[in-house]
A and B are shown apart, each in its own frame.
Chain A
Amino acid sequence: MARLLDVKGLQTQFFTQDGVVKAVNDISYTLDEGETLGIVGESGCGKSVGVMSLIRLIPSPPGKVVAGEVIFNGQDLLKLKDNEIRSIRGNKIGMIFQDPMTSLNPVLTIGRQISEALELHLGMDKSRSRKRTIELLELVGIPMAADRVDDYPHQFSGGMRQRVMIAMGLSCNPQLLIADEPTTALDVTIQAQIVDLVKKLRDELGMAIIWITHDLGVVAGLADRMVVMYAGMIVEEAPVKELYGNPRHPYTLGLLGSLPRLDEVRDEKLESIEGLPPDLIALPQGCPFYARCKYRIDKCETENPSLHSVGVGHGVACWIDIDKDPITTENPWTEV
């Protein structure tokens, strides 16, 4: 498969009164055509900022992409002029945002909001874009699409609004769809509907997807490859089965251990990761996970490991090998 996206050394910072918030720190990853990449991490780990930086949606000031390249179809998106990036956003790259309740304009009809992109990017006239909008609504499973195209967002339920957002993201047949926690605000049964729909559309339309989430469960059945982020850095990258079956970073291991699983009852306690992520204004000199890591050694405090390969397509940023090296600190957080 051809390479679609190549992110190299991306760094995004926010210049605030309290100091420079280093939200994304030197991340690199690639995406092939038709591939689904899951990016997981906790709130504030830079997963959304990292992806919004790709399409230059970081509010500036205070935010700024300070370094890096984003090669999409052979051109660097960070070097494009404003009108050039505008012709790619919503066209070649579609987006679905987290909260379907607030990302639709309440005073415009659904049809108007979807057809806007069609008229702008594909130069359709009113009647053709309306026809295409109805087709899109049918594609995402909205019943009686021809009647509902003139409804306003408040007339739709949460799940239906997220379907409208998906229709909007797909309107111009994008090569890449960026989904930023698209199911977080929805109930589980609706989440299952949406995930199922996205899978079906991906197989039909063959676009690549970047799916951002904090829920390791949702992406397990959806992604081909996974990236785990912590404090604005990529700490582990692996094919999906490899990541869940053979996690190599203590943070990934901790995350998986802290999830209760529906298919097994564990009578022992959950393995929680004690403590809190570091302050992004004052990042530690060494590994960002040092303060919470059970496997840490002295080197971790002073030198930040970079991503190195431990298997086919499997990279991890850690000095130790959790399969071989022993646990050094039982209660890392209290012993700092």
Chain B
Amino acid sequence: MSPEPLLRIRDLRIEFADDDGWQRVVDGAHLDVRPGGARALVGESGSGKTVTALAVMGLLPRRHSRIPTGRIELAGQNLLDLTERQLRPIRGTELAMIFQEPMTSLNPAYTVGEQIAETVRVHTGASRKDAWRRAVEVLGEVGIPAAARRAAEYPHTFSGGMRQRVMIAMAISCRPKLLIADEPTTALDVTVQAAILALLRELQETTSMAVLLVTHDLGVVADFCDDVTVMYAGQPVEEADTVELFASPRHPYTSGLLRAMPQSAHPGLDLSSIPGVVPRADRMPPGCRFHPRCSHAQEGLCDIVEPDLLPLDGTRASRCLRIQRGELDELSRIVDDRVVAARADLDRRSS
């Protein structure tokens, strides 16, 4: 069996308060991140992926949210049992997080070096001098040229890509075991995204840091992650090794997402889409939450029986009743010319 997961989330429910009471926005989150591994948490807007990530960091808004059940274990310790005071030293040294908009997470009034050094001092008790030295060192590690000089500059003098590097530098300054990255490249240009993903991969290799990558972009998942959890309407619907997920998705929602990508249809032909929208937390349909949008939904089954996320063969799990019964064979059809050509090339070389 695989080694003990570094992060283990089980049966996590998260509720937010609104005018009508408590709305359950995450209902049974379930995922593992292996030590040094990279897990993708994928879903569209409203899937609950970001809320799940914030819960791991203990960053949910205190007064407007609650966690009625569930466990978030980091190296065996349930973070939900800890007080804010006990959690604070874990954040930074064990856990760190980066966000989509680096500018909103940086303080414009302090130099980037001061902000990183402050993080280091708070978490390690290092002296000012040592903390500054460490700040310059990590800025260099994340590929910021002339790090010693740049450390003394303010965030607004950095470009979007460089700001994200600064955020990564701050996050890794105390060598966390798990980095949570919430859409870290979504606001960046694609050439800059490629460089940031390359940097994260390199940091993973040199520091054996695990990454939980929250994203809506399946291309980024294919590039970066070993394992994937797909979320829909607050629940995980599929779990798989990345290669297996793309080769043969085992939930109609996953296959719908793959087939809706523009790379999945020849230019000139219609793209496949998923009709309808994600249901609101207070208007979840009975049975399978995806069934009103699912072309494979079976009357009398999917609209009545509430499915669980059940293990299939090997490392996979699916929340689809019909997949669990062996009634569906889902196939993704990526037909992008470059993918097809490169695939053929791979097959030729391996045979």
The answer to whether A and B assemble together is: no
Residues of B within 8 A of A (CB): none
Residues of A within 8 A of B (CB): none
